[in-house]
Structure 1
Amino acid sequence: MAEIRDIEVVVFDVLGTLVDEPGGLRSAIHDALPASDEASIDELLAIWQQHREIEEQRIGQGHRAYVHTEVIDAEAAQRVADRAGLTDPAAIARLATAGRRLPAWGDSVAGLDRLARHFPVLGLSNAGRTALLRLTAHAGLRWHQALSAEAVQAYKPAPEVYQLAIDAAGCPPERVLMVAAHAWDLRAAQARGMRTAYVQRPGGDPPTRSDAFDGRFNALDELVTALTAR
């Protein structure tokens, strides 16, 4: 556990870091297709995740005009439905909004509450505005401000997304801490001058030996203790 000093504002990635995105999507697919076995659900989840990743990359590369996450999720849900033979329009429509109902990790709500007593806390997410609003309410997350990448019509790791958080923080980037379970996310934040902290989560993107983040933590409680120890 590392102690991180001289921080004024803490910024959190949301999807995967504070909420269990794979688990929530898997549950939504199971609800839509209750007769499916685990192997089939895993295959359908992979289809969803691959579509999201590919489309966000295409947007970042300029090969597709920006659309928010709920558009991409609706496309992913239709791909899943087509593969599974699901034809019920209501079931497909509900599946398309699964990103609004992702569960928080067990320590997320208490950790945010504890940290927010000491620092301004921001959420910074690729989730579209409406999806982020509904997700925040569903998961019980409490912020001082939640920022959607939709505001800059881009997806992380585009630099303008991190600049959105820096501008909202109102202080130099070296006093803004970006927290994520994804090393790629932290590398991009680091390139904008932000401080960085990795928190381990199942299914995250762990750092490599060459990553020089300000802190690496096995749990959110460890990070909060490091930040609030005075």
Structure 2
Amino acid sequence: MPHPSEIEAVVFDVLGTMVDEPGGLRAAIRDAAPASDEDSLDELLAVWQDHVAHEQERIEKGERAYAESVTVDREAAHRVAERAGITDPTAVARLATASRRLSPWDDSAAGLARLARHFPVLGLSHASRAALLRLNAYAGLRWHQALSAEDARAYKPAPEVYRLALDAAGCPPERTLMVAAHAWDLHGAQAVGMRTAYVRRPGGDPPKDSDAFTWYADGLDELATTLTAER
């Protein structure tokens, strides 16, 4: 295992890792369809998530031309509205921008600030440039640089998305750490040679026994303690 002193820059996934994406989307759906019960909200959230995952997979396979997150989220919102019987255009339009209003996890802002005192910290997100700008402002996430997959016209785990961060950081992949709550995201980072850190979050994609990430942590405070030891 490398020593933390070998890390020169830290890159973070944003959606799900730094902000509560499932919880925020569920709350937005509840606002748009207040009569829905808890089971219905779960079903509507699944409609949104399944659409986004399916379309990103189609883009990755070359079955669909790249579409930024704003477009895919708008499609998802219309699918949810159709299923829930939401007919108010204003409510649907607001629902389509729900990904701009996701609350941070309790340790996100403080953990990010703590690490930023020792490393350049970068966000690397599927969110479009415009959506990411507003999400960072809403959630109070202060990066040295925030990068959108829109600039690669691809979605993770496509290698060109991670190379955005490597190019911005200007250091070798083995000295660049990718932090995420999603094992699939860390697999993509490993494929381009990056170090990896899994942070446990509700609703994330937990690692399997066969996974071998560089570090594991239950939260950002624990990860910050590990990475800043002896620095």
TM-score normalized with structure 2 length: 0.98
Greater than 4 Å deviation, 4+ residue runs: none
Equivalent in the alignment of 1:84: 84
Q: Verify the 8 A CA contact 2:4 2:229 in the aligned structure 1.
A: no
Q: Verify the 8 A CA contact 2:52 2:72 in the aligned structure 1.
A: yes
Q: Which amino acid aligns with 1:207?
A: P
Per-residue CA deviation, residues 23-54 of structure 1 (Å, 9 max, x unaligned), is 00000000111111111010000000000000
Equivalent in the alignment of 1:124: 124
Q: Which amino acid aligns with 1:19?
A: V
Cα shift at 1:4: 3.2
Per-residue CA deviation, residues 137-180 of structure 1 (Å, 9 max, x unaligned), is 00000000000000010000000000111111101110000000
Cα shift at 1:220: 1.0
Q: What is the rounded CA distance, in whole Å, between the counterparts of 2:164 and 2:175 in structure 1?
A: 15
Q: Which runs of 5+ in 1 are unaligned?
A: none
Equivalent in the alignment of 1:27: 27
Equivalent in the alignment of 2:36: 36
Q: Which amino acid aligns with 1:7?
A: I
Q: Is 2:58 the counterpart of 1:66?
A: no
TM-score normalized with structure 1 length: 0.98
Q: Secondary structure at the match of 1:178?
A: strand
Q: Secondary structure at the match of 1:156?
A: coil
Cα shift at 1:219: 1.1
Equivalent in the alignment of 1:190: 190
Cα shift at 1:63: 0.6
Q: What is the rounded CA distance, in whole Å, between the counterparts of 1:3 and 1:81 in structure 2?
A: 50
Structure 1 residues 155-170: aligned runs within 5 Å = 155-170=155-170
**Over aligned residues, Cα RMSD in angstroms?**
1.0
Q: What is the rounded CA distance, in whole Å, between the counterparts of 2:83 and 2:35 in structure 1?
A: 14
Q: Secondary structure at the match of 2:12?
A: strand
Equivalent in the alignment of 1:104: 104
Q: What is the rounded CA distance, in whole Å, between the counterparts of 2:29 and 2:36 in structure 1?
A: 9
Equivalent in the alignment of 1:136: 136
Q: What is the rounded CA distance, in whole Å, between the counterparts of 1:202 and 1:88 in structure 2?
A: 32
Q: Verify the 8 A CA contact 1:3 1:215 in the aligned structure 2.
A: no
Identity of aligned residues (%): 71
Q: What is the rounded CA distance, in whole Å, between the counterparts of 2:31 and 2:163 in structure 1?
A: 38
Q: Which amino acid aligns with 1:110?
A: A
Cα shift at 1:3: 6.3
Q: What is the rounded CA distance, in whole Å, between the counterparts of 1:106 and 1:192 in structure 2?
A: 31
Cα shift at 1:5: 3.6
Q: What is the rounded CA distance, in whole Å, between the counterparts of 2:95 and 2:28 in structure 1?
A: 6
Q: Verify the 8 A CA contact 1:3 1:226 in the aligned structure 2.
A: no
Q: Is 2:213 the counterpart of 1:218?
A: no
Q: Verify the 8 A CA contact 2:69 2:127 in the aligned structure 1.
A: yes
Q: Secondary structure at the match of 2:6?
A: coil
Q: What is the rounded CA distance, in whole Å, between the counterparts of 1:17 and 1:46 in structure 2?
A: 19
Q: Verify the 8 A CA contact 1:10 1:120 in the aligned structure 2.
A: yes
Q: What is the rounded CA distance, in whole Å, between the counterparts of 2:77 and 2:102 in structure 1?
A: 15
Structure 1 residues 193-208: aligned runs within 5 Å = 193-208=193-208
Cα shift at 1:120: 0.2
Q: Which runs of 5+ in 2 are unaligned?
A: none
Q: Verify the 8 A CA contact 1:15 1:125 in the aligned structure 2.
A: yes
Aligned length: 229
Q: Which amino acid aligns with 2:189?
A: A
